[in-house]
């Protein structure tokens, strides 16, 4: 560097110095929550995602909460992050969706679920898609079409179970929820060649969703991207068929989601494809895990099995006397203890562990600063397994939901129960999920005795999964 350049550089530095100092003085010092940022780039992601039993919050969360409290800072998924195990902050996040916080899933999730996936989109597009999903799973739909379908598909799976034969309960639960979703979304009947081909492509797709996002030859992620393409081609063909039918004035296939969306929304084909795929994903994986968890928890609590049997025998007896065959909405409403079992399964098993958000404004909460652009992770599982929210949280205790959860915890309310998230992104399928679990339990408990055929345990990968698929054997009952 020549002398004249050096002088010029020094002069600019001297002139800029007061401005730099003034700017630094004006920047208020941030009071970030305590915590560590870990290694460059990876941060603490590896520790945070380390597999652990689903009924625990894992070592990472345990150690961090013990050291820093329920709100701490970290660096996760390549970004600075605030992690919240605090029920109040989680509610604050949900209630300020779109105002202070926004959904922000890692790019790899968008890459595989699609950029128009409901779990990824924000703003007006999210509002429009949410309206479609809510309409699809409205109360009226649940009481009429869906209740019948849920019962039919539950019986189809349960009636195929062979006495004393070892099989994967998780696979069976997946079969049930998959068949139900593809029937309601695409009018596909179970075990038809089309449904089977879609199920096969979907299984490969799912392996990629839960794998490391490495788009290299032979990886699960690459295979999943290929399966995504196969699934989208399949849905596209269905869309073309429907459009032809609609043009031809055919009203026959009005009642599945695909026809409804094509007739009643202005979404582009690409958006419809991603919406359908995201509903299939959101509606199939979650409730099948919840059913598997119920099958896993119940044998360890014979008193709950007994009480369930009494409740469902009573419903079945009343129906027989009235000459009814199919379950009605009133029958479902009478399944009070079953509802406690469903709540307790969701609380202890935590199907969805945590959610991805980011701060879209600078936020101050309980004296801490949450800077704009930082990731914010409300950890639902940490609230559900916190002894200050739920007495003896590790215990499977359906009776804690008596009197609307008044035994939920030392705060005396079930306010801290958030398995379906909250606010503007509250699970659109929560009522369908509860219906599926309860109806499945109804026919299971009346017709079968089951036990675990091999030791297995639900693990968080971070998706909840049983490493051996939850092997069970069943004996048929004739209780009714």
Comparing CB distances to ligand HEM, the nearer of 177 and 307 is: 177
Task: Using CB atoms within 10 Å of the CB of residue 283, give its burial: 0 to 12 exposed, 13 to 18 middle, 19+ buried.
Answer: buried
Collapse the DSSP code of 357 into the 3-class scheme (helix H, G, I; strand E, B; otherwise coil) and give the result. strand
Q: Tell me which residue has tokens 């392996």.
A: 207
Comparing CB distances to ligand HEM, the nearer of 190 and 283 is: 283
Comparing CB distances to ligand HEM, the nearer of 315 and 342 is: 342
Collapse the DSSP code of 97 into the 3-class scheme (helix H, G, I; strand E, B; otherwise coil) and give the result. strand
Residue showing the smallest CB distance to ligand HEM in the complex: 429
Alpha carbons within 13 A on the beta-carbon side of 278: 26
Task: Take residue 216 and report the two structure tokens written for it.
Answer: 């290299």
Alpha carbons within 13 A on the beta-carbon side of 154: 25
Closest approach of Cβ 347 to ligand HEM, in Å?
A: 11
Comparing CB distances to ligand HEM, the nearer of 437 and 453 is: 437
Comparing CB distances to ligand HEM, the nearer of 315 and 352 is: 352
What number of other Cβ atoms are within 10 A of residue 350's Cβ? 27
Closest approach of Cβ 133 to ligand HEM, in Å?
A: 4
Q: What angle do CA 395, 48, 362 make, to 5 degrees?
A: 105
440 within 8 A of 428, measured Cβ to Cβ: no
Residue 216 CA: distances (Å) to CA of 173, 220, 222: 32, 9, 6
Closest approach of Cβ 183 to ligand HEM, in Å?
A: 13
Q: Which of 276, 282, 299, 287 is nearest to 435 (CA)?
A: 287
Comparing CB distances to ligand HEM, the nearer of 81 and 355 is: 355
Closest approach of Cβ 91 to ligand HEM, in Å?
A: 13
As a whole number of angstroms, the distance between CA 251 and CA 255 comes to 9
Comparing CB distances to ligand HEM, the nearer of 56 and 135 is: 135
Task: Take residue 237 and report the two structure tokens written for it.
Answer: 């063909």
Closest approach of Cβ 100 to ligand HEM, in Å?
A: 15
Comparing CB distances to ligand HEM, the nearer of 434 and 453 is: 434
Closest approach of Cβ 351 to ligand HEM, in Å?
A: 4
Closest approach of Cβ 118 to ligand HEM, in Å?
A: 5
Closest approach of Cβ 53 to ligand HEM, in Å?
A: 18
Q: Which H or E run contains 475?
A: strand 471-476
Q: Would strands 448-452 and 471-476 be described as parallel, antiparallel, or unpaired?
A: antiparallel
Closest approach of Cβ 286 to ligand HEM, in Å?
A: 3
Residue 426 CA: distances (Å) to CA of 110, 371, 445: 19, 25, 30
103 within 8 A of 424, measured Cβ to Cβ: no
Comparing CB distances to ligand HEM, the nearer of 356 and 400 is: 356
Closest approach of Cβ 377 to ligand HEM, in Å?
A: 11
Comparing CB distances to ligand HEM, the nearer of 87 and 352 is: 352
As a whole number of angstroms, the distance between CA 128 and CA 268 comes to 12
Comparing CB distances to ligand HEM, the nearer of 259 and 287 is: 287
Q: Which of 466, 460, 473, 453 is nearest to 174 (CA)?
A: 466
Comparing CB distances to ligand HEM, the nearer of 275 and 453 is: 275
User: Where do contacts with ligand HEM occur on this chain (CB under 6 A)?
Assistant: 103, 118-119, 130, 133, 279, 282-283, 286-287, 290, 346, 351-352, 355, 419-421, 425, 427-429, 432-433
Close Cβ partners of 306 (under 8 Å, ≥ 6 residues apart): none
As a whole number of angstroms, the distance between CA 337 and CA 223 comes to 43
Closest approach of Cβ 462 to ligand HEM, in Å?
A: 13
Q: How far is CA 427 from the centre of its chain?
A: 8
Closest approach of Cβ 15 to ligand HEM, in Å?
A: 49
As a whole number of angstroms, the distance between CA 304 and CA 337 comes to 9
As a whole number of angstroms, the distance between CA 148 and CA 329 comes to 10
257 within 8 A of 276, measured Cβ to Cβ: yes
């Amino acid at each position: 560097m020549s002398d004249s350049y050096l002088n010029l550089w020094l002069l600019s530095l001297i002139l800029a110095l007061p401005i730099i100092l003034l700017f630094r003085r004006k920047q208020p010092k941030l009071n970030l929550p305590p915590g560590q940022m870990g290694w460059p780039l990876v941060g603490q992601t590896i520790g945070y995602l380390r597999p652990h039993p689903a009924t625990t919050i894992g070592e990472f969360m345990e150690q961090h909460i013990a050291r820093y409290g329920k709100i701490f800072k970290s660096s996760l998924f390549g970004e600075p992050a605030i992690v919240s195990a605090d029920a109040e902050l989680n509610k604050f996040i949900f209630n300020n969706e779109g105002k202070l916080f926004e959904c922000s899933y890692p790019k790899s999730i968008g890459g595989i679920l699609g950029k128009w996936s409901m779990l990824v989109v924000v703003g007006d597009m999210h509002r429009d898609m949410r309206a479609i999903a809510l309409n699809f799973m409205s109360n009226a739909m649940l009481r009429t079409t869906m209740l019948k379908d849920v019962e039919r598909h539950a019986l189809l799976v349960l009636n195929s179970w062979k006495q004393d034969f070892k099989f994967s309960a998780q696979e069976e639960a997946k079969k049930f929820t998959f068949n139900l979703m593809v029937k309601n979304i695409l009018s596909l009947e179970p075990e038809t060649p089309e449904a089977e081909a879609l199920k096969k492509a979907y299984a490969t797709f799912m392996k990629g969703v839960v794998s490391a996002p490495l788009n290299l030859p032979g990886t699960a992620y690459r295979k999943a991207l290929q399966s995504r393409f196969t699934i989208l081609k399949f849905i596209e063909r269905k869309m073309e068929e429907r459009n032809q039918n609609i043009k031809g004035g055919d009203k026959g296939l009005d009642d599945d989601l695909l026809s409804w969306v094509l007739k009643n929304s202005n979404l582009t084909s690409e958006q419809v494809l991603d919406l359908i795929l995201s509903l299939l994903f959101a509606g199939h994986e979650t409730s099948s895990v919840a059913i598997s968890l119920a099958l896993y928890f119940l044998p360890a609590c014979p008193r709950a099995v007994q009480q369930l049997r009494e409740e469902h025998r009573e419903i079945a007896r009343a129906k027989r006397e009235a000459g009814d065959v199919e379950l009605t909405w009133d029958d479902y409403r009478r399944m009070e203890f079953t509802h406690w079992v469903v709540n307790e399964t969701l609380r202890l098993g935590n199907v969805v562990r945590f959610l991805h958000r980011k701060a879209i404004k600078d936020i101050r909460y309980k004296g801490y600063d949450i800077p704009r652009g930082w990731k914010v992770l409300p950890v639902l599982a940490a609230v559900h397994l916190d002894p200050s929210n739920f007495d003896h949280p590790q215990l499977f205790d359906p009776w804690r939901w008596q009197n609307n959860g008044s035994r939920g915890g030392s705060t005396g309310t079930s306010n801290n129960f958030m398995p379906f998230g909250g606010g503007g992104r509250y699970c659109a399928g929560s009522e369908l999920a509860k219906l599926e679990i309860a109806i499945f339990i109804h026919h299971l408990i009346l017709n079968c005795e089951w036990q675990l055929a091999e030791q297995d345990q639900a693990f968080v990968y971070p998706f909840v999964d049983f490493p051996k698929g939850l092997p069970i054997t069943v004996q048929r009952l004739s209780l009714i």
